[in-house]
Chain A
Amino acid sequence: MPEAVPDTSVEARRGRRWRRLPPEVSILMVLVGLALSFELLGWIFVKQSFLFNEQRLIVMILQVSVIGIIAVGVTQVIIAGGIDLSSGSVVALTAMVAASLAQSSDAVRPVYPTLTDLPVVVPVAAGLAVGALAGLVNGALIARTSIPPFIATLGVMVSARGVARWYTRGQPVSMLTDSFAAIGSAAVPVLIFLGTALLFHLALRYTRYGKFTYAIGANPQAARVSGIRVGPHLVLVYTIAGTLSGLAGVVTAARAVSGQAGMGMMYELDAIAAAVIGGASLSGGIGRITGTVIGTLILGVVTSGFTFLRIDAYYQEIVKGAIIVAAVIADQYRQRSRARAA
């Protein structure tokens, strides 16, 4: 009988269970493998442990937490079948805006002389609002005009950087209040990163917002026919990504205790890399926040490991590039073997 096709054989079930392992497992193994290799190389070349050094681990995560916050937003955009190139510039713009509202009264030339020593909530809210606005522009351009996301966010990327420079005519903003600087001190950025990751992990898995985001990325046409209002939903997704870039901007300004228009250069690419290493598919419909967190950590381990081994930064970039490409190749291979097994 057709129901009894060999589909239910033991072999098939085992094969299915193997394929059913969360896709993060393979990428997690890469992370562990990298960390262990650095540990081994550490003992051989610099006579030190790589992993058993609390300080180093904290710095390592701290370095990538800004990228991680952005990547949480970018992952959602990628799942929805889009791309966001504007994140790095939005970091710069929001860092400038937040810093300008976080100056202390002992600043020599404050941007707003009457607005110094404001409570910390003001610069934070301003940074998030400007980020949200940038995301809204991205989303509205994409939903309203149906230009490709690549182009829309490329335009915003260039313009936002311009606005960041224009804002203070290129002058950096410094002398920030202690309460604002506290956002960037110690492990606070790490907590913000993990907190946003958890929040949106839950949102993607357990809310209608999440289900619709996957559906739109998997097949926008079918999503529309199924009654999803695709345009407004995309605006929401890009606005969330923009807000998270704004949050990253606030953290960046707080860590540097200043705002500079050159901040956040190429962060968008690191964030996209983290998402893609973590298994997000640029064709949409596939991706997870847990994968992105692991992808972010991989970037962190590579950077920190190379510094630890005192290897030139040039090699770092070469290896980083190779890891990104290898991750996508591995992912495609997995997808294909999965499809073939069907």
Chain B
Amino acid sequence: MGSDPSAAADGCLLEVINVSKAFPGVMALENVSLRLKCGTVHAVVGENGAGKSTLMNIIAGLHAPDRGELHLRGRPLRLRSPREALESGIAMIHQELNLMPSMSVAENIWIGREPVNACGVISHRELHRRTRQLLGSLSIDIDPQAPLRSLSIAYRQMVEIAKAISYDSQLLIMDEPTSALTERDAERLFAIILGLKAQGKGILYISHRIEELFSVADEISVLRDGRHVGTDTPANLTRERIIRMMVGRELAQIVPAAPARAGAVRLAVRELTLEPHFRDVSFELHAGEILGIAGLVGSGRSKLAEALFGVSPAGSGRILIEGSEVRIGSPAAAIGRGLAFLTEDRRESGCFLTLSVLENLAVAVLGRDFVRLGFVRGRALTRACEAMSRLLAVRTPDQHERIENLSGGNQQKVLIGRWLLTSPRTLILDEPTRGIDVGAKAEIYQLIARLVERGAAVLMISSELPEILAMSHRIMVMHEGRITGILPRAQADQVRIMNLAAQ
């Protein structure tokens, strides 16, 4: 123990030695050890609740370990705050980006460290010059003066990375950097990561997308229930092996193939337009069918979903449900037509974080059922919600637990349950498996397949091509607000879809 000269010599940047951490009632980490070498990417994977985030928070100075120690370049490291971690060259890029939307890119990067002139006034010219230089060194093409809110999630993430680099960090922690990115944006991110590696920086990389680890990671460590299960190079691992290590059991099939048994036209859309997001969108969705929508972020996919559900009603065009033309001016109207909409952003427009699992489940169905003379029929509602969470296998201590205490996958199941309680006939699912672990993903796929078998029509937006390819009966590809193609499953493959999506 102590400072180990050989560790520094072989380029070991960070060593985590037998770290344990308990939270009230939960052993979050137990004797976890890890080594990160300079100029490499070390991926850490595990199901939600496996302890990845706790480990990262310890390395980033957010929590102190109960036992065990950290060594940075062979020297013991004791962090009391994220500030100290930053000063030691450790920066974390959070899953939920911590940027200020109303401020410019440059202001966001240098906040608190703005260059000032002799009078103490911020020199914007110097600020922008530095920012341009920084972004240039990372080959990121963004205007330093652009307000952050004008940027897509992918670009915001790059700003966050640039910010981390601006602290002269040697160790970057990336917590699910690709969960909100399309394949193309992810490729761009990987290029940036490659550049960082060449500069000798070490990267700890958390992700639920196992496929991408094989192209980005040099080493992969698996955590399960707070313990370190194993570490190896991608060359010695397979996707199946990683999953087996993560869940501790064999998963027969990740993505179930739903039978194609399309029935009558449930939803028909004619020349739907909402400038500047999408225009002249026409398609049909059948009962018992999954229609996947692929496209890059910004292709208008999510806006189309919002328009169909009345969140931001379309400017022109027609929507027909079961043959009759309808006007959907609000989500309430859409629900009245048997629609349901799982939004892409769980925290922003999905969960009521301060409310219980039960209240989160019940909120949509209360608009039309379980209410007599304004009074909620508490017992019947509780029974229905309990049955729903059993059906979806939501893991929660009980129905009164706050939803914010559940893992991402379980939150997502609750949100799906919220809609199933309204017995929808048409479901619009926007990124239904974003940021959730493999086990929960498989359960959600099976659930969707079951719904479709029973005659529901599903419109599924996803940035994960393997998911779209395996689940959809037909795949509609969008590019810059237009439909560039609708492919039957048999004719669809990744290359074809990417060609249509990126033209």
Q: Please give the residue numbers on chain A whose beta carbons come within 8 Å of chain B beta carbons, in ascending order.
A: 1-3, 5-9, 11-13, 15-16, 20, 206-212, 214-215, 218-219, 221-229, 281, 284-286, 338-342
- Docked complex Cα distance between A9 and B24 (Å): 10
- Given A207-B374, A207-B376, A219-B352, A5:B26 Cβ within 8 A: yes
Q: Are A11 and B25 in contact (CB under 8 A)?
A: yes
Q: Are B26 and A211 in contact (CB under 8 A)?
A: no
Q: Are A211 and B348 in contact (CB under 8 A)?
A: no
Q: Are B353 and A206 in contact (CB under 8 A)?
A: no
List B contacts of A2 (CB < 8 A): 47, 49, 225, 247-248, 395, 439
**B341 contacts chain A at the CB level, 8 A cutoff:** yes
- Choose one: B47, B351, B364; the contact of A227 (CB below 8 Å): B364
Q: Which of B311, B348, B354, B367 has the most CB of A within 10 A?
A: B354
- Given A208-B366, A228-B367, A219:B332 Cβ within 8 A: no
State how many angstroms separate the Cβ of B477 from the closest Cβ of chain A.
Answer: 26
Q: Are B362 and A12 in contact (CB under 8 A)?
A: no
**B378 contacts chain A at the CB level, 8 A cutoff:** yes
List A contacts of B25 (CB < 8 A): 6-7, 9, 11-13, 15-16, 341
List B contacts of A229 (CB < 8 A): 330, 332
Residues 348-373 of chain B: 1 if any A CB is under 8 Å from the residue's CB, otherwise 0? Answer: 11111111000100111011000100
- Docked complex Cα distance between A215 and B360 (Å): 8
**B116 contacts chain A at the CB level, 8 A cutoff:** no
Q: Which of B249, B353, B355 has the most CB of A within 10 A?
A: B355
Q: Are B331 and A225 in contact (CB under 8 A)?
A: yes
List A contacts of B335 (CB < 8 A): 227
Q: Are B350 and A342 in contact (CB under 8 A)?
A: no
* Contacts across chains A and B counted by CB atoms under 8 Å: 124
- Given A6-B27, A12-B25, A342-B404, A208:B353 Cβ within 8 A: no
| Chain B residues within 8 Å of chain A by Cβ, number | 47
- Choose one: B49, B309, B352; the contact of A5 (CB below 8 Å): B49
State how many angstroms separate the Cβ of B280 from the closest Cβ of chain A.
Answer: 26
Can you list the 10 inter-chain pairs with the closest CB atoms, starting with the nearest? Answer: A12-B25, A342-B405, A218-B352, A285-B354, A227-B335, A221-B349, A226-B364, A227-B332, A341-B24, A15-B24
With A2-B247, A208-B374, A342-B405 already in contact, 5 other A-B pairs whose C-beta atoms are closer than 8 Å:
A9-B25, A15-B25, A207-B371, A226-B363, A339-B405
Q: Are A285 and B397 in contact (CB under 8 A)?
A: no
Q: Which of B23, B247, B363 has the most CB of A within 10 A?
A: B363
**B418 contacts chain A at the CB level, 8 A cutoff:** yes
- Docked complex Cα distance between A223 and B418 (Å): 12
Q: Are B225 and A286 in contact (CB under 8 A)?
A: no
**B299 contacts chain A at the CB level, 8 A cutoff:** no
List A contacts of B371 (CB < 8 A): 207-208
List A contacts of B364 (CB < 8 A): 226-227
Q: Are B397 and A211 in contact (CB under 8 A)?
A: no
- Choose one: A5, A210, A224, A228; the contact of B311 (CB below 8 Å): A224
